[in-house]
């Protein structure tokens, strides 16, 4: 079955205006507004926002009810811990197979009835009014959410174009966690109103504002289900066309892949460690605020603040630091989150704690969105689902253990005083068990962050201070202000020359001024250098000599060919660029530390607006050649290192890369490239050729070229 890419202008109501179509097609790839203008995704987003709002309202109401059910300090900790533990208990039983179950059900019906059932269950809590029923509902709601979540995640790629998927995921995550802010504001407002007007909620009976929050929670789920019900374009899922697979096999394959892949293993350890430390904060937040004399209103304020920071971090953090390696950013954000827990635990002033919590949430958000992005980029599609299932189940296991142990530890530590008594007989400093437990979480989180950074650092030898300066000053590369620069990269036989030619033909048909070029050898000097570096008769030469020859070709190529074309507003499509040097001579020849500075200097640090990486296993690509040049004749290990080098570069700056599986049909690869390039062409339209006429047939005639002679 051929998958049809979602049309960002389509919707169930009817086609939008011509101006709306043009705005969407030429909006930047990272534009959040462009994603929200896709009608089907917008409806799902509204449903997700309402569901998330209801979920956070329910958590606040249930923990408040649990806190009120006990009298002693330890008893309050244990009651809250029970509710929080029961929220993760279903995941320990069915978490690893939740994604498998979601794939066997109709996704649209799963989303609709998942919301309706959760709303009905929350509605029963104030009606029954007993603690044991709170525990039962908590377990049932979480069991439904375990299936609802994977169904939602699997639906999003079917509602948006591929090049807008990252922005769509960013909106989904920010909504999921950011909705905690309005939930906390509503809950705090209800408790404050109840304090000012004691009898205003008496007609609800029971807990007054808490019961009202639960009713609001139930209502939000029902409305979410009604919104999603209006969606008609959600596919049923893989159950219709995939054979039955053993759930045990799915789980084992996911675990095995994580265990044998170092980078993924480092990511998983970092994410699980972060959630374990975060579980300590979640489990003890209510009692910690009580220790600071904050009450329910202070609890709601602190709860909302941490998720405000989380949403800001997921929304703005990666873009503010887009020049920084994603692997480095992940480790740094985890480390800073751990370090911020120290002053939060030690400072006994609620206003200061709230301010620090906002910053902590920001770095936690950066780490969460970066970790998810890296997992999506590093894990192959065929094992991605089971890997995420493994990560999800391990996260919930860590949370369950922490939520059970942290309140117990806080209760055992108890209350401690330090320093002399003042005139009123009060001790100079008082630290309770929650603060001490926060300090332990800070130690664990900091250690996990440092370990993740050291294991995943992909820029060894480049000072972190230099990277940070580039990220904050925007000096991490130069991007042409006119024209559009696209580079095609990949290993031997990946199809770069074929796809470069097809892209050039399509752009020319659209009316753009296009320059198709290649490296090495597209200048008079470059032709001489090409003969030296590729001719087998050259024999063995120094690795540094080879790298400098390639750098000389790039310097001439940029100065004589690429830069002048971009200056006049042309679209430049190059078959190979700097990434080939960093992959072949950097990773292949093991010249990582010195080489990048030379290559960037040779090109005046000019970066492509988009680099298309055609990823192909080396053994398949090399089969396409009968005769091999000097580089093609290198060992299989060399070409494997080259492939890993390309993928590492794409992971470090995914907003400027499109990674395409080169094993796909030529036509499908060409369509993916066109979809990603099209939004980048606005500069070429403004400064180069006149706006293109509407296309009648967007697919150019394709020539089957199974064998490609590399332009490298």
User: So what's the pLDDT on residue 461?
Assistant: 61
pLDDT of residue 584 exceeding 90: no
Question: Which residues have CB under 8 Å from 274's CB, separation 6+?
Answer: 334, 337, 364, 367, 368, 371, 445, 448, 449
- Segment 602-614, tens digit of pLDDT: 888 888 989 999 9
For the chain, domain boundaries = 8-236, 246-476, 478-687
Of 352, 272, 375, 245, nearest in space to 305 by CA: 352
421 beta partners: 427
Same CATH topology for 8-236 and 246-476: the answer is yes
Maximum alpha-carbon separation in the chain: 94
Both structure tokens of 101: 């179950």
- Residue pair 586/595 in contact (Cβ under 8 Å)? The answer is yes
Distance of alpha carbon 448 from alpha carbon 269, whole angstroms: 8
- From residue 255, give the alpha-carbon distance in Å to each of 93, 396, 397, 440, 442: 16, 15, 14, 29, 28
- Segment 521-561, tens digit of pLDDT: 888 888 888 888 777 667 778 878 888 888 899 999 999 99
Of 700, 9, 20, 73, nearest in space to 408 by CA: 73
HSE toward the beta carbon, residue 413, CA cutoff 13 A? 20
- Segment 305-324, tens digit of pLDDT: 877 887 788 777 766 666 67
User: So what's the pLDDT on residue 387?
Assistant: 65
Question: Helix, strand or coil for residue 234?
Answer: coil
Backbone angle region of 237, left / alpha / beta, with phi > 0 → left and psi within -120 to 50 → alpha: left
pLDDT of residue 431 exceeding 70: yes
Q: Which architecture, in CATH terms, is 8-236? A: Up-down Bundle (1.20)
- Segment 12-44, tens digit of pLDDT: 333 344 444 444 454 555 667 888 888 888 888
Question: Which residues have CB under 8 Å from 248's CB, separation 6+?
Answer: none
Distance of alpha carbon 630 from alpha carbon 712, whole angstroms: 11
- Segment 49-101, tens digit of pLDDT: 888 887 787 777 777 777 776 666 667 667 777 777 777 777 767 766 776 67
- Quick one: fold of 478-687? Rossmann fold (3.40.50)
CATH number of 246-476: 1.20.1250.20
Global pTM value? 0.53
């Amino acid at each position: 079955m051929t998958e049809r890419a979602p049309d960002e202008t389509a919707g169930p109501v009817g086609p939008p205006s011509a101006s709306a179509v043009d705005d969407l097609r030429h909006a930047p790839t990272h534009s959040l507004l462009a994603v929200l203008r896709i009608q089907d995704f917008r409806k799902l987003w509204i449903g997700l926002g309402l569901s998330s709002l209801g979920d956070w309202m329910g958590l606040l109401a249930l923990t408040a009810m649990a806190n009120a059910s006990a009298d002693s300090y330890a008893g309050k900790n244990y009651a809250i811990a029970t509710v929080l533990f029961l929220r993760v208990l279903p995941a320990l039983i069915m978490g690893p197979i939740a994604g498998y179950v979601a794939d066997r059900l109709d996704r649209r019906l799963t989303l609709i009835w998942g919301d309706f059932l959760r709303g009905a269950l929350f509605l029963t809590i104030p009606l029954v009014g007993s603690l044991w029923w709170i525990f039962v509902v908590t377990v049932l709601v979480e069991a439904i959410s375990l299936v609802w979540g994977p169904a939602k995640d699997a639906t999003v790629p079917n509602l948006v174009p591929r090049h807008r998927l990252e922005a769509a995921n960013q909106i989904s995550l920010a909504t999921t966690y950011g909705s905690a802010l309005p939930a906390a504001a509503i809950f705090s407002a209800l408790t404050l109103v109840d304090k000012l007007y004691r009898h205003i909620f008496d007609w609800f009976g029971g807990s007054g504002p808490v019961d009202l929050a639960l009713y609001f929670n139930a209502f939000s789920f029902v409305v979410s289900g009604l919104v999603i019900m209006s969606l008609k374009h959600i596919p049923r899922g893989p159950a219709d066309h995939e054979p039955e697979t053993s759930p045990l096999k799915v789980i084992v394959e996911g675990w095995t892949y994580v265990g044998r892949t170092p980078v993924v293993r480092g990511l998983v350890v970092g994410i699980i460690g972060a959630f374990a430390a975060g579980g300590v904060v979640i489990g003890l937040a209510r009692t910690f605020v009580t220790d600071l004399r904050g009450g329910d209103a202070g609890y709601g304020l602190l709860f909302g603040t941490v998720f405000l920071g989380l949403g800001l971090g997921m929304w703005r953090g990666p873009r503010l630091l887009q020049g920084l390696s994603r692997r480095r950013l992940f480790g740094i954000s985890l480390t800073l989150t751990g370090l911020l827990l120290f002053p939060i635990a030690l400072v006994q002033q609620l206003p200061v704690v709230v301010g620090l919590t906002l910053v902590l949430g920001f770095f936690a958000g950066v780490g969460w969105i970066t970790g998810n992005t890296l997992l999506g980029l590093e894990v192959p599609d065929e094992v991605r689902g089971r890997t995420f299932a493994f990560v999800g189940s391990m996260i919930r296991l860590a949370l369950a253990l922490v939520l059970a142990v942290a309140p117990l530890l806080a209760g055992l530590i108890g209350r401690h005083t330090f320093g002399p008594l003042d005139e009123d007989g009060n001790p100079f400093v008082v630290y309770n068990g929650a603060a001490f437990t926060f300090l332990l979480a800070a130690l664990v989180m900091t250690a996990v962050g440092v370990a993740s950074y050291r294991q995943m650092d992909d820029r060894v030898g480049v000072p972190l201070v230099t990277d940070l300066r580039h990220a904050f000053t925007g000096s991490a590369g130069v991007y042409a202000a006119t024209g559009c620069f696209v580079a095609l990269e990949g290993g031997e036989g990946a199809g770069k020359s074929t796809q470069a030619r097809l892209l050039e033909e399509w752009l020319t048909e659209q009316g753009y001024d296009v320059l198709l070029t290649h490296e090495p050898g597209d200048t008079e000097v470059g032709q001489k250098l090409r003969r030296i570096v590729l001719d087998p008769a050259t024999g063995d030469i120094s690795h540094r000599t080879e790298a400098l020859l390639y750098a000389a070709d790039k310097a001439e190529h940029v100065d004589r060919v690429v830069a002048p074309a971009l200056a006049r507003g042309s679209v430049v499509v190059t078959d190979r660029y700097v990434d080939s040097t960093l992959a072949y001579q950097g990773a292949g020849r093991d010249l990582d530390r010195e080489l990048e500075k030379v290559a960037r200097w040779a090109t005046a640090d000019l970066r492509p607006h988009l680099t298309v990486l055609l990823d192909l296993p080396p053994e398949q690509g090399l089969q396409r050649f009968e005769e091999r040049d000097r580089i093609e004749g290198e060992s299989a290990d060399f070409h494997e290192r080259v492939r890993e080098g390309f993928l590492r570069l794409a992971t470090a700056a995914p907003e400027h890369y499109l990674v395409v599986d080169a094993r796909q049909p030529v036509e499908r690869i060409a369509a993916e490239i066109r979809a990603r390039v099209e939004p980048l062409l606005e500069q070429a339209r403004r400064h180069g050729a006149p706006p293109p006429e509407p296309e009648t047939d967007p697919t150019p005639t394709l020539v089957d070229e199974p064998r490609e002679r590399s332009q490298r």
